[in-house]
A and B are shown apart, each in its own frame.
Chain A
């Protein structure tokens, strides 16, 4: 993308906008006076962490605020105010001159209608097209966004498409009426890195072909660097800093921007010492979901894990990377005997693969797990203290109440939380704090192995960095062994000393972290790494 200035004229302007929400706890100011603009053909990124108000500006501009939200200030399209106009007037712009794509391609399309039906709506409503004309245009659009077998796929329902394809359909919808501005709200956040790269390539290519402006909202600085001409950095409802991308990355002017730029995970992990004892030995682990064919039933069997060997030594961190559906979480659960599997699993020399719930109980104390969604995995009805103490009630029932309280305090302190917060409920904590509670819950039992299933994926980069530091310190202090499951290669590289790359339930490649990241042996791993670490090069190659 060439350097753009706003000589071409500002087509979109936000002037001192304020967004407030009426909540049961009083007024919340999400956006506190922000101004920004987008020039013709320009790509502008708005970057910020969750809660910075970046999405709410666009929701306000497009008349999509929740019913308890209110916006003040001005939003102008080609000099005309669009914030204080009727819905009918706004509808002449929305979906026509200004279009949007959203974070969740899963839910942004109506599950009950076909792709054709949904794509035809903006065409028929704004362009008054006949059904025939709309169909021809839809075919053209789906081909443009590179959906294979477009003629056939347009009859499909959203659930029959993959996440990447759904986002392509959303892009097709956004392009339907040749818009002047595309607002993309975290459009690749829910996608795998390789799919993310494809979608960004597609957007860049379409932009150079069609000439629209793009306003890109994201938390991912890698995307900003590769994709945007100009950046606004937002924090707590205000713009901290703005400027051309190259300048901002080379010489950030505010501490906040510097902090964001430095928040990429760093460091490496040394392998455990030579003679470290083996903790877990697993041979030919297989997991199959679904049921075989029956009288009136199709074969629904799916092999999620296809014969994987794992050897874990004390103090090791095994990183398992792979895209969604690769079977990495399933493998983690199978190793802890949380789901039925085939193959041998030995823990400290004992075979645990044949054991049921009762038989596994004595081992559970040593084998703990932390999940991705720190909110969903903490019971909302229990206090933080009760959640952390629960494991002790099961595994050390004889413990005196006072000792138990002391252990809870110790565990909370260990993860960097104030024990005085033990009577609060999960919703009163931030995402990063919740993940700390989940780690404390595992830690209090003094386990040997913790399986960490995407523990940092729902967190902002700056919070992620703190959690990574925490995990490192806890590992050092307690001689812990981790299985670290993630789709995020940067985090895996920082935390693991040995990495397995999974695809379609099998291991594509494995080896010591440094070796694997420096000299990936398979095309698949290379593609994964390029998409994760060299987005800019990937987009530049495509443009060339």
Chain B
């Protein structure tokens, strides 16, 4: 298993390298630059700025320099936030985003699995139809709609929870729900389908034939098999939560990395956007690896060697 993990980590290096390369050049192909403003700067000022940040060099040379610096752990200076390195800016926001994302992920898994199981046990009943309806709603309505509506209803109208800010547990409630909702829906559907199949499987029939209590049949034998598809979905889910948090962090005004991503892109803050891309890519790759290892832990038939 260890050698598998190492092999996967080595295998991830080219993936991340390709992502960085693609992002770097796509960013530069886009028109505009970090110092373009409504009032055009004097040519000499512009030249000085470009020279300071190395933007006067040929593109491939800039690319090589960026890679070299990145390898040494330096993501470069921000073009907009003066006197700040990108790693300093992102280092502040990252814990917020990670906390938000992981909480949403755990919530989505627990609630999704519970709803899916419930629906499968009462297949074709009103409970089942309600869960499916909620799941369809959760999947189709994007979180840039859900987040403001939650904020409007529970913060502005009912005044139960704060509409923005970070630090208290209460402030986490709405953003976590907004972020988790689509994932709850997807996981509920996955678990429902797998659970229906598991309940019909031969080994569940064996468990029933041997007089095991219903709770044990469902929770021990059926659910463990039914949760497996949801576990393999956690990799893509983590990616969806990271990108989803860009919107949610904006709506609830949270100091995560999402807002830097948006602002960085709008301002052509090349290094800041690149920094966010690198972090998201590494996170997704690592999370997929964790999920695969977790899968092997849950299913003894899967062995990596």
**Smallest Cβ distance from B151 to chain A, in angstroms?**
42
CB-based contact A94/B209 at 8 Å: yes
Q: Which of A85-113 contact B (CB under 8 A)?
A: 87, 90-96, 99-100, 102, 104, 107-113
Q: Which residue of B lies closest to A100 (CB)?
A: B209
Instruction: Note all chain B residues with C-beta closer than 8 A to A112.
Output: 224-225, 298-300
| Contacts A100-B209, A112-B300 given; does A296 touch B202 at CB 8 Å | no
CB-based contact A104/B211 at 8 Å: no
CB-based contact B298/A64 at 8 Å: no
Instruction: Note all chain A residues with C-beta closer than 8 A to B203.
Output: 107-111
Q: Which of B41-88 contact A (CB under 8 A)?
A: none
| Contacts A107-B203, A111-B203, A112-B299 given; does A296 touch B7 at CB 8 Å | yes
Q: Which of A111, A121, A159 contacts B207 (CB 8 A)?
A: A121
Q: Which of A95, A109, A297 contacts B211 (CB 8 A)?
A: A95
Instruction: Note all chain A residues with C-beta closer than 8 A to B206.
Output: 100, 102, 108-110, 170, 173
Output the residue of B201, B210, B216, B224 with the most chain A CB within 10 A: B210
**Complex-state Cα separation, A170 to B305, whole angstroms:** 30
Cβ of A343 within 8 Å of any chain B Cβ, yes or no, is no
Instruction: Note all chain B residues with C-beta closer than 8 A to A96.
Output: 211
CB-based contact A99/B210 at 8 Å: yes
Binary contact readout B200-241 vs A (1 if CB under 8 angstroms, 0 otherwise): 111111111111111010001100110000000000000000
| Contacts A87-B214, A125-B216 given; does A111 touch B301 at CB 8 Å | yes
Could you tell me the dominant secondary structure of chain A's interface residues?
A: loop
**Complex-state Cα separation, A298 to B210, whole angstroms:** 40
**Complex-state Cα separation, A257 to B5, whole angstroms:** 61
**Complex-state Cα separation, A67 to B120, whole angstroms:** 12
CB-based contact B211/A102 at 8 Å: no
CB-based contact A91/B221 at 8 Å: no
**Complex-state Cα separation, A109 to B203, whole angstroms:** 5
CB-based contact B211/A64 at 8 Å: no
CB-based contact A90/B205 at 8 Å: no
Instruction: Note all chain B residues with C-beta closer than 8 A to A104.
Output: 202
Q: Which residue of A lies closest to B304 (CB)?
A: A296
Cβ of B253 within 8 Å of any chain A Cβ, yes or no, is no
CB-based contact A159/B300 at 8 Å: yes
| Contacts A110-B203, A110-B207 given; does A95 touch B299 at CB 8 Å | no
Q: Which residue of A lies closest to B7 (CB)?
A: A296
CB-based contact A91/B211 at 8 Å: yes
Cβ of A76 within 8 Å of any chain B Cβ, yes or no, is no
**Complex-state Cα separation, A122 to B301, whole angstroms:** 24
**Smallest Cβ distance from B6 to chain A, in angstroms?**
8
Instruction: Note all chain B residues with C-beta closer than 8 A to A113.
Output: 220-221
**Complex-state Cα separation, A87 to B214, whole angstroms:** 9
Q: Which residue of B lies closest to A114 (CB)?
A: B300
**Smallest Cβ distance from A324 to chain B, in angstroms?**
19
**Complex-state Cα separation, A122 to B123, whole angstroms:** 28
**Complex-state Cα separation, A109 to B216, whole angstroms:** 15
Q: B residues near A, CB below 8 A?
A: 3-4, 6-7, 123, 200-214, 216, 220-221, 224-225, 298-301, 305
Q: A residues near B, CB below 8 A?
A: 62-64, 66-67, 87, 90-96, 99-100, 102, 104, 107-113, 121-122, 125-126, 157, 159, 170, 173, 296-298
Sample of 16 further A-B pairs with CB below 8 A, known A64-B209, A99-B209, A108-B202: A62-B209, A64-B208, A87-B214, A91-B213, A95-B211, A102-B205, A102-B206, A107-B202, A108-B205, A109-B203, A112-B298, A112-B299, A113-B220, A113-B221, A121-B216, A125-B211
26 contacts between A and B (CB under 8 A): A64-B205, A64-B209, A66-B200, A91-B211, A91-B212, A91-B213, A95-B209, A95-B212, A99-B209, A99-B210, A102-B206, A107-B202, A109-B203, A110-B203, A110-B206, A111-B203, A111-B225, A111-B300, A112-B299, A121-B212, A121-B216, A125-B211, A126-B211, A296-B6, A297-B305, A298-B305
